[in-house]
A and B are shown apart, each in its own frame.
Chain A
Amino acid sequence: GAGVSQSPSNKVTEKGKDVELRCDPISGHTALYWYRQRLGQGLEFLIYFQGNSAPDKSGLPSDRFSAERTGESVSTLTIQRTQQEDSAVYLCASSPRRGGGETQYFGPGTRLLVL
């Protein structure tokens, strides 16, 4: 079956512009995660969605970052007034249930470059 998909695969933007990144999780997966990966580093947790529960936004680095999810499907991560330090790969992952102690399946990521 189809895995996690993300779009766009690459995004180049100018400092100060807003960007929107999209994630389509695996069908039937109720848990969805966003991560940021800076060059040569590990994954930094951003936000977690589980069903209709309130999302865990504890990893969002500033109020310029926000994310939404429609039901148990598509999610969008929005970065407003982008800064050069926002340049990174943004990864989305999904998992079947609440996510406790189970594998997360990752998409290919969106590579964001802020000039």
Chain B
Amino acid sequence: GESVGLHLPTLSVQEGDNSIINCAYSNSASDYFIWYKQESGKGPQFIIDIRSNMDKRQGQRVTVLLNKTVKHLSLQIAATQPGDSAVYFCAETHSNDYKLSFGAGTTVTVRA
């Protein structure tokens, strides 16, 4: 079946460096993508989203890039901070659907 996955299960980043978290999706019909951050003991928190009519979207310290050709999504975090340590999930859906498909997540650890 269709699935959303992440390339790497863990990422260790030096504080102040930029982080890049990758996600591959397989459902070419998906047209809406979301990045969530989940801190220990908490529910997933919305970070940023992007629709398929865009290839880049920027938020505060975060940028999401979408490459529909290779079905790849990435989340870039600028100047990574200790508070960015969490599990990051990408999720996909179609605008006519209500289910989100989640990958297994990437654990980001920020080194001081």
A: which residues have CB within 8 A of B?
4, 6, 31, 33, 40-43, 45, 48, 50, 56, 91, 93, 95, 98-109
**Known interface pairs A4-B43, A106-B44; A101-B105 also in contact (CB < 8 Å):** no
Cβ < 8 Å to A, chain B residues 12-53: 31-32, 34, 36, 41-46, 49, 51
The residue in chain A whose Cβ has the minimal distance to the Cβ of B94 is A101
Asked if B67 is an interface residue, CB under 8 A from chain A, the answer is no
Is the contact region of chain B dominated by helix, strand, or loop, or is it mixed?
Answer: loop
| Residues of chain B from 70 to 112 with CB closer than 8 A to chain A in the complex | 89, 91, 93-100, 102-105
Task: Note all chain B residues with C-beta closer than 8 A to A40.
Answer: 104
For the side of the interface on B, what is the size category?
20 to 34
**A-B contact count, CB below 8 Å?**
60
Q: Are A42 and B104 in contact (CB under 8 A)?
A: yes
Q: Which residues of B contact A50 (CB under 8 A)?
A: 98
- Give 19 A-B pairs besides A41-B105, A45-B100 with Cβ atoms closer than 8 angstroms: A6-B43, A40-B104, A41-B104, A42-B89, A42-B105, A43-B89, A43-B91, A43-B100, A43-B102, A48-B98, A50-B98, A56-B98, A56-B99, A91-B44, A95-B98, A100-B98, A104-B100, A106-B36, A106-B43
Given the interface pairs A42-B89, A109-B43, the reply to whether A103 lies near B49 with Cβ below 8 Å is yes
Residues in B with CB closer than 8 Å to A95 are 98
